[in-house]
Chain A
Amino acid sequence: MEKKNYLCLVQFTLRYDRRMKHKPVTTVALLLLVIPFLSGCTGQTAPFHNWDNIIVSYVDDGHTADYEKLTLFNLALAETGQLADNVFHYTQAGSDGIIAPWAQTVETGERLSDLYWSMGHVAYAQRMAFETNVLDDRPFNPEMMVRLIETNLVSGAYDVARKYIAILETDKQYRKTAASYLKYLDNDAAIEADPILGPKRRCIPENDFISLVRGIDEDLKDIIRTNPSYHNAIEYLGVIYLLDCEMDKFKGVLDEFYGTEALPTLPVSFAEAACMLSEMDSGYWKRVGVSQNTFNRYREFKKRMGTGLPMDRFKDTFWYYIMRVNSQ
C-alpha cells in the first residue's frame, strides 16, 4: 500500500475511533485486518527482492556447489553496492557463482534475468525474462512480465511494452504495478529521468553486437564504455576475471578504465588484485591508487604463505581465494 493511502486509512480509523469512543487498540486491530486485504487488492508495488535480507540470511557453509544460490547472493551484493568490495568475504566458486549455468528452469531463468538486468545487459535480461515466462506453467510469470515491460520500455519498444502492461493488469495483485508503467509509454524523457530505467537505457550500446558470443566480459566492456557511470558493470567484469583468476584480463580492465568515470578508485578486491599485479610491475599498486595499508597487508600475507602460520585473518581477501584455488 502506498504511504499516502496508509496515512489516509490511519486518519480515518482514528477519527472513527474518536467518534465511536473506541480505544486506540481498535484502530490497530482494524489496521492489521484491513492492510493485507487492501495491499492485495491494490497491487502493492513491492520490490521482488529484499537484497539486504538475502545477504543477512545467506548461510556461507563453505560449500559452493549451489551456483544458483551463490548467483542470487552475489547479485544481492551487487545491488547493494558491495560486490567488488566484499565478494571475497564469502566462499566463492569461480564465475559460475556469478552467472549460474542456464538450466532451462524458471528459477535459473529468473535469477539470470535479474543478473543481466543488474549488469546493464538489457537485451539478455529481456531474453532470460522471455524464456522464463515461456517455461512458467502459469499464464505468465508476473516478475518476468515486469522485466519484459522494463526492458521493452528501456529499448523503446513501446507497443509491445503496452501489451505486456495490459497483460500484467489482468492480475489483480499486479494491477497497480502495471499501471505505474503507463506513464513511460512513448515518453523517452520520463524513461531517461527514471532512476532505474534511465541508467539502463544509457547502458544500451550504440553499435549492435551479438550478445554473449564474444563472452560476457566483452559485452560488459561495451556496456561500460557506453555508460561509464553504471558501476555495476565494471564491478561484475572485474570480479568475474578475479574469480576465474584471469589476471592479465583483469589488468586490462584497470589499464583501460582506472582513473576514468567508470573506475575512479579501486574497490577492495580490485585493490588486492592490483597488489598481486605489482609482483610483475613494481609500483603498479601505487599507480592505481592502492593504499599503503592494503599493500602492507599483502606483504604480510605473502610472508605467512608457506610458513604454516594461520592464514584465517586473510580469509576475506582475493589473495586467500587465489591461494585456495591454486592449491586445489
Chain B
Amino acid sequence: MKRILPFFAVLVLCVGCRTAVNITGEIDALPAIYPDYIDVTVPVNIAPLNFRCDSVSGPTALILTAGEQSCTVKGPEFDIPLDSWRTLTALGDIFATVCVREKDGWKSFRPFTIHVSPDPIDPYVAYRLIEPGYETWNRLGIYQRCLEDFTQTPVMTNEQTDRNCMNCHSFCNRNPQKMMFHMRARNGGTFTWDGEKIEKLNTKTPQTLSALVYPRWHPSGKYIGFSVNDIAQFFHSTDPNRIEVYDSVSDIVVYDVENHQVSASPLLTDTTRLDTMPAWSPDGKTLYFCSSAQPKVPQGYKDIRYSIRSIAFDPDHFSFGDRIETVYDAQASGKDATFPRVSPDGRFLLFAETAYGCFAIWHKDADLRMIDLQDGSFHTLDALNGPDADSYHCWSSNSRWIIWASRRLDGLYSRLFIAHIDADGNASKPFLLPQKDTHYDALLLKSYNVPELITGPVTFDPEEMARIAKTDPGINVSYKE
C-alpha cells in the first residue's frame, strides 16, 4: 500500500473516467468483494474483472494502477471501462485499491494485486446453457462467449429445432471451424461441421450399444473418439449430491469422419467393464479413456470406480494397439478419475477425481487433479479446487490456462472458472469468468455446461443447421469390423 498510494492525500488521475479520490486514511483490511479477484492471475487478454463491494455503505471507488497509469471507477459495483482495462493489462500486474468515503474523507482498503500473465487465453469459450437438472429440459442452447469482452452469442439454440435437446459440442484442436454436436429427441442426430459442410449422421449401428455419445476429436481431424453408453440417473433421498448419473453399459469406439464408419478394439468393448470418455494425446497416437469394472447398478453405484487407461492408436491405418496401459489406477487410489484431458503440449493429463462414479459434476467432492506425463508425478492442484464440484475442464491452446465448471458458488449451478498453470504444473488462484453485471450469475437459472475453449467464434448458419436437422434424413454410419 505504502509503495503505491502514500498515506497522505493523493489525487489520482484517471485513464477511464474523471473521478478524483482524495485519500485521507486507510482501513487495515482487504475489501470484501464479489467475485473474489484478490491476488488472482489473469490472461493479458481477459475482459475487465468487474466486481462489487457489498459490505460498505456510502460512496465507493476503485483505483486500478499499473505502471504509470491509473483508472478510477465508481462503485460499489465497479464496471471497469474496457479501453482503460486494456491499457492497464498491457502494463503488467494491476494494483487495485477499493476506497470508501467516510465522514472525514476517503479511506482506502488494503490494496490487492491482479496478476496479469503475458500468456493469452483462447479468445472464445463455447458452452451449453442448461438447467442443472434432472430429467426435463425446455429452452437450451450452445453459446459462445468472447473472453476478451462480455459478448455472448448463440451458436445454436433449440428454439430453431423444436426445443429438442442438444449436447456434447466438441471442437478439433479448439478450431471453431471444425466441430460436432448431437441433437436428441426430435430432429435427432450427430452433426459435424468442417467450416463449409454440415453433415447429419445417424450413428447407431447394430454392432454398437447406442448412438455415439461422449466425443473427443482426434487431433488430425480425421477421427472422433466416442463412447457408446446406456446412461441412467436416479435421485438421492438424503445425499447432498442430489443426483447420480451412471452407465449401465458402455464402450469406446472411434468414428472415421471421411468414411462414416465406426470401429473399436475388442479391448475397448469388454462386456465386463465400463469404458467411456475418450481423449487423445496431442500426437494422436494414444487414446486415453476411463474404465471401471461393471458392478450391478443401481444398487452398486458406489462401486463404480474409473481408472484412466490408454491404448495405442495408429491414425494411418485406423487400428488399435493390443495392450492396455493404466495411467491412473482407481484400485490403488481408492478413488475414481474421469474426463481425462491432455494438455496440448503433451505434458500434463488433467482429470476430475471423486470417490466414485461417472458424472463428477454431481459429486461435491470432485476436484481437478493432474498427472505429469513426463515423470508420472501427481499434482493435487489445491490452489484451484473449491469446496464443491470442480469438473469438466479444457486446456487453452498454449497449455497455460484451464477453464472448467465449478459449483463452488452455490452448490448447484456450474459457473466457469479459469486458472493459470505454469510450465511446471503449478496452478494459480483461479478466477470466476467475469461478467459485465456482477449479479448476472446469481440470477441465472442455468449451468455452464461443457466449456470448450476455441480460437475464434463459430460461424455456421444456425438456420441452415436447423434446416438440415429437420429435413435431411442423415447419413447412416456403418461399423468397420
A38 within 8 A of B: no
A141 to B230, CA, bound (A): 32
Q: Which of A206-248 contact B (CB under 8 A)?
A: 206-213, 219, 222
- When distances are taken between beta carbons in the complex, the residues of chain A under 8 Å from B247 are none
Chain B residues near A210: list those with CB within 8 A: 234-237, 244, 298
With both beta carbons as reference points, the residue of chain A lying nearest to B446 in the complex is identified as A134
**Residue picked from B131, B412, B413, most chain A C-beta under 10 Å:** B412
Q: Is B8 an interface residue (CB 8 A)?
A: no
Interface residues of B in 200-252 (CB under 8 A from A): 234-240, 242, 244
Complex partner residue of B237 from A134, A157, A209, CB under 8 angstroms: A209
Contact A170 B410 (CB under 8 A): no
Q: Digitize A125-165: 1 where CB-to-B-CB distance is under 8 Å, 0 elsewhere.
A: 00100110111110110000000000000011101101100
**B413–A163 contact, CB under 8 A?**
yes
Name A211's contact: one of B234, B240, B445 (CB within 8 Å).
Answer: B234
Flag if B412 contacts A134 (CB, 8 Å): no
Cα(A205)–Cα(B236), bound, Å: 11
Bound complex: CA A13 to CA B133 (Å): 50
Q: How far is the CA of A275 from the CA of B324 in the complex (A)?
A: 67
The reply to whether A167 and B445 contact each other, CB–CB distance below 8 Å, is yes
Q: How far is the CA of A136 from the CA of B410 in the complex (A)?
A: 23
Looking at the complex, which one of B136, B137, B138, B411 makes contact with A159 (CB distance below 8 Å)? B411
* A104 CB–B CB distance under 8 Å: yes
Given known pairs A157-B240, A167-B445, A211-B236, the reply for A127 and B409 (CB within 8 Å) is no
**Complex CA distance for A219 and B239, rounded to whole angstroms:** 14
In the complex, whether B134 has a CB less than 8 A from a CB of chain A is: yes
Asked if A166 lies at the interface with its beta carbon under 8 angstroms from chain B, I say yes
User: Is A204 in the interface zone, CB < 8 Å from B?
Assistant: yes
Please indicate the chain B residues that have their CB under 8 angstroms from the CB of A166 in the complex: 442-443
Quote the shortest CB–CB distance from A106 to chain B (angstroms).
10
Residues of A within 8 A of B135 (CB): 131
* B237 contacts across to A, CB distance below 8 A: 121, 123, 204-205, 208-211, 219, 222
* Residue A124, interface by CB 8 Å: yes
| Count of interface residues, chain A, beta-carbon cutoff 8 Å | 36
Q: How far is the CA of A162 from the CA of B442 in the complex (A)?
A: 9
In the complex, the answer to whether B238 meets A205 with C-beta atoms within 8 Å is: yes
Smallest CB-CB separation from B443: which chain A residue? A167
- Enumerate chain A residues within 8 angstroms of B235, measured Cβ to Cβ: 123-124, 127, 210-212
B residues in contact with A127, CB < 8 Å: 134, 235
A166 to chain B, nearest CB (A): 6
A11 to chain B, nearest CB (A): 34
Per-position binary interface string of chain A over residues 43-86, scored 1 when its CB falls under 8 Å from any chain B CB and 0 otherwise: 00000000000000000000000000000000000000000000
* CB contact under 8 A between A134 and B411, given known A123-B236, A123-B238, A213-B234: no
Most buried by A among B133, B136, B409: B136
Q: How many residues of B contact A (CB 8 A)?
A: 25
* Contact call B411/A157, Cβ cutoff below 8 A: yes
Contacting residues of chain B (377-393) with chain A, CB-CB under 8 angstroms: none
Within residues 159 to 185 of chain A, which ones have a CB less than 8 A from any CB in chain B? 159-160, 162-163, 166-167, 170
| Alpha-carbon gap, A139 to B443, bound state (A) | 10
- What residues of chain A lie closer than 8 Å to B410, measured between beta carbons? 159-160, 162-163
* Residues B105-161 near A (CB distance < 8 A): 131, 133-138
Known contacts A163-B413, A211-B235, A130 near B240 by CB under 8 Å: no
- A209 to B298 CA separation, bound complex (whole angstroms): 11
CA gap between A124 and B235 in the complex, in Å: 8
Give the shortest distance, in Å, between B409 (CB) and chain A (any CB).
7
- Known: A160-B411, A167-B443. Contact between A207 and B238, CB under 8 A? yes
0/1 string, B438-449, CB within 8 A of A gives 1: 000011010000
Contact (Cβ within 8 A) A131 B133: yes
> Which single member of B134, B238, B240, B411 contacts A209 (CB below 8 Å)?
B238
Contact between A130 and B131, CB atoms less than 8 A apart:
yes
- How far apart sit A29 and B411, CA to CA, in the bound complex (Å)? 50
Which B residues are CB-close (under 8 A) to A167? 443, 445
Partner of A130, one of B133, B238, B411, B442: B133
Please indicate the chain A residues that have their CB under 8 angstroms from the CB of B409 in the complex. Answer: 159
Does B298 lie within 8 Å of A134, measured CB to CB? no
Contact between B238 and A134, CB atoms less than 8 A apart:
no
Contact check, A208 vs B236: say whether CB atoms are below 8 A apart.
yes
Residues of B within 8 A of A219 (CB): 237
- Write out the residue numbers on chain A whose beta carbons fall within 8 Å of the beta carbon of B131: 130, 133-134
State A205–B238 Cα separation when bound (angstroms): 6
Q: Which B residues touch A212, using CB under 8 A?
A: 235
A220 to chain B, nearest CB (A): 11
B-chain residues with CB within 8 Å of residue A121 when the two chains form the complex: 237
Residue in A136, A137, A140, A155 whose beta carbon sits within 8 Å of that of B240 in the complex: A155
Residues of chain B whose beta carbon lies under 8 Å from any beta carbon of chain A: 131, 133-138, 234-240, 242, 244, 298, 409-413, 442-443, 445
Q: 9 A-B Cβ contacts within 8 A?
A: A131-B133, A134-B137, A140-B445, A155-B240, A159-B409, A204-B237, A205-B238, A206-B238, A219-B237
Closest 3 CB pairs of A and B: A208-B238, A159-B410, A211-B235
**Chain A interface (Cβ within 8 Å of chain B)?**
104, 121, 123-124, 127, 130-131, 133-137, 139-140, 155-157, 159-160, 162-163, 166-167, 170, 204-213, 219, 222
Given A134-B136, A157-B240, A160-B413, list of 12 further CB < 8 A pairs?
A123-B235, A127-B134, A131-B136, A133-B445, A137-B138, A157-B411, A159-B409, A163-B413, A205-B237, A206-B238, A208-B237, A208-B238
